[in-house]
Structure 1
Amino acid sequence: MNDFMTPQQIARRAAAAVDAAVGAGRDLGLTVNDATVLHDLFSVVVHLAPSPVVARIPVVLPHTSDLDSVTRRQRSELDVTRWLADRGTPVIPPSPLVPREPVQRDGHSMTFWEFVEEDRAKEPDYAANAEIIADLHAAMRDYPGRLSFLSAADPQSLAADLATLEERPDLIEPADLDRALREWRTLEPLVRSRTAFEQVFPGIDLQPVHGDSPPANIFSGVAGDLYSDFELVTLGPVEWDLAALGPELESAYDRGARRNGMRALDEDVLAFVNAVGMLRAVATLTLAPQLPALVGYLTPAVDQWRTMPFAGGLVSPDGTVRGRR
C-alpha cells in the first residue's frame, strides 16, 4: 500500500498543530510572537515564545482514538503532574499562566506546560534515570486520584491494531502476526482485568505509575533533571515502567527501590509486562503510515521479540498463564 505520509504532508500536519496552539494560546491571554517547534514525533511540542509556555499537541494517534479520549488522558496527566509538583517532586509542571485543562481547537486537543530550558550538552544516563524512577514511584504511591488499571496498555487499541495488521502484509509477516494474535489471546485477560492479574500474580501491589518508559522521559533541564511526559499515567505494577529495558536498567531500579524501602522487581511480572510491551510495539506498526520513521524504530524491537519466549514464557502446558513461581 502507498498510504505513507510524505515529508511535505508531515510538515503541513505540524504547521497546522502549531497554528492551533498559537490560536489557543492567544485566546487564553498569552503573548505569542515566535512559536518554535521543540519536538515533532508523536506530538508536536511548541514553545509559545516569548511566553514561558510550551504546548504539546498529539498528532499521531491510534485510529480508535478521538478528541474526547485524548482529552481524558490529558486531564489525568495534568492532575497527576500538578499533584506531584505541589509536593516538591521534580516534574515539568503544567503552566500556571493558563487554566490547567486540555484545550480543543481545530481538531486537536492540547495541553500547556511550563517552559524549562534544556541542558543540551548533557548525555542521558539511562541507568541513573532508572534508579531514580524508584523515587518517582515512592512519590506517586499516595496519589489520591482515580486511575484505570493498565490503561497505558490501551487494550482496545491494541486489539484493534492487531486486527488492522491482518490487512497490512506490507507492515508485518503473516507468521509474526499469527504469533502476535495468539500471544494477545493469552495475555489480554490479564491486561483488561485487575482481578485476573491479581489472581495470576498474588501479592503484587498496584499503584500509580508513569506508564511510558520513564527512564527515557527524564528531561535534562539546566537546573536539574525533571520527570516528564505522563501522558500514559496508569494504575499498575511498578514493573510496567521498566518494560523492555533489560537487566542493567532493572538492576539500577532495584538499587533505587532498596533505597526507598520498596520491593525489588518481580521476575514473572517483568516477563508479563515485557511480553505486553512487545505486543504494543508490534501493534504500533499500524501508525507507520502516519509516521514512516517508526519502521526504523520498531524493526529492531520486532526482531528482538522473535527471539523471546512465547508470551514471556509464562504459558503452562494447558495454554493458561502460569503466574508466579
Structure 2
Amino acid sequence: MADFLTSQQLTRRTSAAVDAAVGAGRGLGLTVTDATVLHDLFSVVVHLAPSPVVARVPTVLPPCTDLDSLTRRQQTELDVTRWLADRGTPVIPPSPLVPREPVQRDGFSMTFWQFVEEDRNKEPDYAANSESVADLHAAMRAYPGRLAFLSAAEPRFVEESLALLAERPDLIGPGDLDRARREWQVLEPLVRSRAVFEEAFPGIDLQPVHGDCPPVNIFSGVDGDLYSDFELVTLGPVEWDLAALGPDSESAYNRGARRNGMRPLDEDVLGFVNAVGMLRVIACLALAPQLPPLAEYVKPSIDRWRTMPFAGGVAG
C-alpha cells in the first residue's frame, strides 16, 4: 500500500520539475535567470523568466502512463493548439521560440508555451465560459489531424485505478467501489468503441473536443480570455466538454450552440458523459498518495455521484 507523499517529498518533486524545466529551456537557447512557479497541482507550470516562455511539466501521473505515451499526448496537444492559433482562435499557443515538440529531461516530459500575463482581478464567469465553448467547438470541427475516440475518458486509467482502490479502503468504501465497478461494466464498452457508442446514440455526431472541462480551463489574460490546457483533446460528442457542470452551464452552452448553428446538447449523451466523468473522479482517488489534497478535493463530487442515476441511466 503506497504511503502518502510528505510535504518534504512534494517540495523535492516540485524542485526537480523546475530544475528540469530550467535545464531544458537553457538547452533550447532560452535565457532563464528567474524561474517562477505559476501553478503546482497535477503539473508544475514554470515561467522561465525573463524569457516569455512557460514550461508545463506533468508530475502526477497514473502508473499506466509512461514517458513515451505522455509525449505522444503532448504532441497532439501542441499540434491542435498551434492549428487553432494559426486560424485566430483565442488559445494560449505553443511558444514560437522553441521547437513545437515535447522535451524529455530528468525523467519528466514537458511542453513550452507562450507566456501570457494573467488578469488576477477577473472572477471566472462559468456561464459565459460555457457559452463560449460552443465557439471553440465550431472552430475545432475542421481540425484535420487524427484524434482517438474518447481517449480523454482514459479507460485504462479507470480500469487500473478501480483495481488499485480495492486495496485502499482508506480512500473509498467497499459499497462505493462495488457500484463504481458495476457502472464501469456498463459504460466501458461505449467508451472503448466508437461503433458501440454510435449504436447506443444514433445520430450523435462526433468531432474534435477539448477533452478536459474547457469552461474551467479558460485563462483570463490581460488582453482577453484564452482557451488553455488541451492535454486531453479527443474525438467525441460535444457533451463531453460539459460533463458534470450542471443545468446552468448546459443552458449557456445551448445558447452558444444556437448562435453557431450547432445542435443543442443531447440529454441521453449528457447522462452518459456525466457518469463516465464521475468514474474518472473516483479513479483519481488512486492518485491521492501522489497528491494528498486530492482525496478531500473530490469528496463533494463523490457525494453528488451517490445521488445520481446508476451509470447515468445507460442500459446495460
Q: TM-score, normalised by structure 2?
A: 0.99
Give the equivalent residue in structure 2 for 1:24: 24
Once the two structures are TM-superposed, the CA of residue 242 in structure 1 deviates from its matched residue by 0.2
Secondary structure class of the residue paired with 2:241: helix
SS at match of 2:49: strand
Residue 51 of structure 1 corresponds to: 51
Match of 1:291 in 2: 291
- Matches of 1:297 and 1:243, distance apart in 2: 18
Q: Deviations over 1:119-175 (max 9, x none)?
A: 000000000000000000000000000000000001011101111111111110000
Identify the residue that residue 204 of structure 1 maps to in structure 2: 204
The one-letter amino acid paired with 1:287 is L
Match runs of 1:1-325 below 5 Å: 3-315=3-315, 320=316
3-state DSSP of counterpart to 2:306 = helix
Aligned AA for 2:234? T
Structure 1 segments of 4+ aligned residues over 6 angstroms from their partners: none
Letter in 1 for 2:221: G
Deviates more, 1:80-89 or 1:158-167: 158-167
**What is the deviation of 1:8?**
1.2
For 2:200 and 2:25, how far apart are their aligned partners in 1?
A: 48
Give yes or no for contact 2:186–2:314 (8 Å, CA) kept in 1.
no
The code of the aligned residue for 2:55 comes to A
Distance across 1 between alignment mates of 2:28 and 2:259: 43
Q: Secondary structure at the match of 1:57?
A: strand
Task: Tell me how far 1:2 sits from its aligned partner.
Answer: 6.7
1:292 positional shift = 0.6
The residue identity in structure 2 corresponding to 1:165 is L
Q: Structure 1: any 5+ residue segments left out of the alignment?
A: 321-325
Name the SS of the counterpart of 1:135 in structure 2: helix
Q: Deviation of residue 295 (structure 1)?
A: 1.1
How much has 1:297 moved relative to structure 2?
1.2
> Residue 64 and residue 2 in structure 1: after superposition, are their counterparts in 2 closer, same or farther (change >3 A)?
closer
Distance 2:5 2:167 in 1: 18
**Superimposed CA distance per residue, residues 248-270 of structure 1 (whole angstroms, 9 cap, x where no aligned partner):** 00000000000000000000000
Q: Match for 2:156: what amino acid?
A: Q
Partners of 2:90 and 2:225 within 8 A in 1: yes
Cα distance in 2 between the residues matched to 1:48 and 1:314: 47
Give % identity. 79
Q: Offset of 1:314 from its aligned partner?
A: 2.1
Q: How many equivalent residue pairs?
A: 316
Secondary structure in 1 matching 2:15: helix
SS at match of 1:30: coil
Q: Once superposed, what is the RMSD of the aligned Cα atoms?
A: 0.7
User: Could you tell me which residue of structure 2 aligns to residue 323 of structure 1?
Assistant: none
- State the Cα deviation string for residues 210-259 of structure 1 (Å, max 9, x = none): 00000000000000000000000000000000000000000000000000
Larger deviation, residues 306-315 vs 69-78: 306-315
Helix, strand or coil at the partner of 1:62? coil
- Measured in 1, the distance between the counterparts of 2:27 and 2:160 equals 37
SS at match of 1:307: coil
Instruction: Give secondary structure in 2 for the equivalent of 1:90.
Output: coil
Q: Is there any run of 5+ residues in structure 2 with no aligned partner, and where?
A: none
Partners of 1:158 and 1:295 in 2: how far apart? 16
How far 1:296 moved relative to its partner? 1.6
